[in-house]
Amino acid sequence: MRDVLLIALFAFLGAAAAGLAGAVVLRMLRRRSLTVSLTVVAGVTVVAMLAGTLAVARAMFLSAHDLTVVTTVVAMAAVVSLATALLLGRWVVARSRELALAARTFGDDGSFAPPGGEATAELAELGRELAATSARLTESRERERALEASRRELVAWISHDLRTPLAGLRAMSEALEDGVVADPQRYFRQIRAEVERMNGMVGDLFELSRIHAGALALTPTRMSARDLVGEALAGAGPLAREHGVRLVGGRVEQVPIEVDAEEMTRVLANLLVNAIRRTPADGTVAVGAERREDSVVLSVTDGCGGIPEEDLPRVFDTGWRGSEARTPPAGAGLGLAIVRGIVEAHDGRAGVHNVSGGCRFEVTLPAAT
């Protein structure tokens, strides 16, 4: 037993000395190629084994012949180990260079395709992660392009919509100034109406800018969906009577929700105004609220006759106002974009689909516990 312990001690001391020397060499070469590091590791392994063997051989007083045999065997093992390390290192480095070359496409066309051929598990996983990142970047770029195009359209439409009332205000003010107006009070009422319209457009722009900047501060409070719908119906009542449209509170369940009451009232108000303006006289606009699993769905159904299928994905885009035949001249096309921004700030989602005789806008919100 004592001999075994001595052999283990001498072997450990010899291998430890080789290991420490190898660690120093690896630290000095840590910035070099992986092939060099693998070669050093293989060399350290062989040298450690040789050092331990020589230490034990001297301690056990082996013959010169036996020591030569042991040394020869270790040398042959070293040759094979070093050759294997070199081949493995060159293969890994080649796969790494192929991956790096493929990754350069991020700066060209923005796409990435993992290189073909076999690779280590780590390199294969890295390739999959780069491919997933490339897909996300592509989606982000597409959203950015769509948003930029939407902003350009918005600027063009807002400029056009502001130019019309400004021209009217200028003409009416000049007429009043020249004293050629037979009924000044009618002009004053028209000027006030145009100013109110422009004020509403500016307010919508400010709200949308807060949403896009992430500066929409919410103050959630627990309330009933029925109370929220009731307030929205009361606010939209005068406009509905003016257009000859019936407002109906259909299936409105008494379900609790936790929302910012002011912002969510604006959501329903925008949907109701949009529905009333697009519903013909003697038509009906129905509002509903119901619970579906862990969500509360608020819905507004109008009688607009439906939205073309190709326009449905763009309904909530900034500046969308539909076809000229369906869209009245009022409004800058910001109402539904504001609806989506406020709903998404509540961790909800807004959607629309056609129903018989019209379309239904749905706002899905997390249900309060």
Q: Is the pTM of this model over 0.75?
A: no
For residue 321, what pLDDT is reported?
Answer: 64
pLDDT at 360 > cutoff 70: yes
Paired tokens of 175 = 């007429």
pLDDT at 219 > cutoff 70: yes
Identify whether the C-beta of residue 304 lies closer than 8 Å to the C-beta of residue 358.
yes
**pLDDT (average), residues 153-167:** 75
Paired tokens of 202 = 């500016």
For residue 328, what pLDDT is reported?
Answer: 40
**In which band, very low, low, confident or very high, does the pLDDT at 320 lie, cut at 50, 70 and 90?**
low
Secondary structure of the chain in HEC code, one letter for each residue: CHHHHHHHHHHHHHHHHHHHHHHHHHHHCCCCCHHHHHHHHHHHHHHHHHHHHHHHHHHHCCCHHHHHHHHHHHHHHHHHHHHHHHHHHHHHHHHHHHHHHHHHHHHCCCCCCCCCCCCCHHHHHHHHHHHHHHHHHHHHHHHHHHHHHHHHHHHHHHHHHHHHHHHHHHHHHHHHHHCCCCCHHHHHHHHHHHHHHHHHHHHHHHHHHHHHCCCCCCCCEEEEHHHHHHHHHHHHHHHHHHHCCEEEEEEECCCEEEECHHHHHHHHHHHHHHHHHHCCCCCEEEEEEEEECCEEEEEEECCCCCCCHHHHHHCCCCCCCCCCCCCCCCCCCCHHHHHHHHHHHCCCEEEEEEECCEEEEEEEEEECC
What pLDDT, in 10s, does the model give residues 254-274? 888 899 888 899 899 989 998
Q: Compare 162 and 351 and report the one with higher pLDDT.
A: 351
pLDDT at 69 > cutoff 80: no
Beta strands 246-252; 284-292: pairing state: parallel
pLDDT at 54 > cutoff 90: no
pLDDT at 327 > cutoff 60: no
**pLDDT (average), residues 332-341:** 80
The CB density around residue 204, as the number of other CB atoms within 10 Å, is: 19
For residue 326, what pLDDT is reported?
Answer: 38
In sequence order, the β-bridge partners of residue 304 are none
**What angle is formed at CA 279 by the lines to CA 276 and CA 285, rounded to 5 degrees?**
60
Please state, in angstroms and rounded to a whole number, the distance separating the CA atoms of residues 270 and 265.
9
pLDDT at 287 > cutoff 60: yes
pLDDT at 330 > cutoff 70: no
For residue 285, what pLDDT is reported?
Answer: 92
What pLDDT, in 10s, does the model give residues 203-215? 777 777 777 777 7
Please state, in angstroms and rounded to a whole number, the distance separating the CA atoms of residues 349 and 267.
12
Only one residue has tokens 């045999």, namely 69
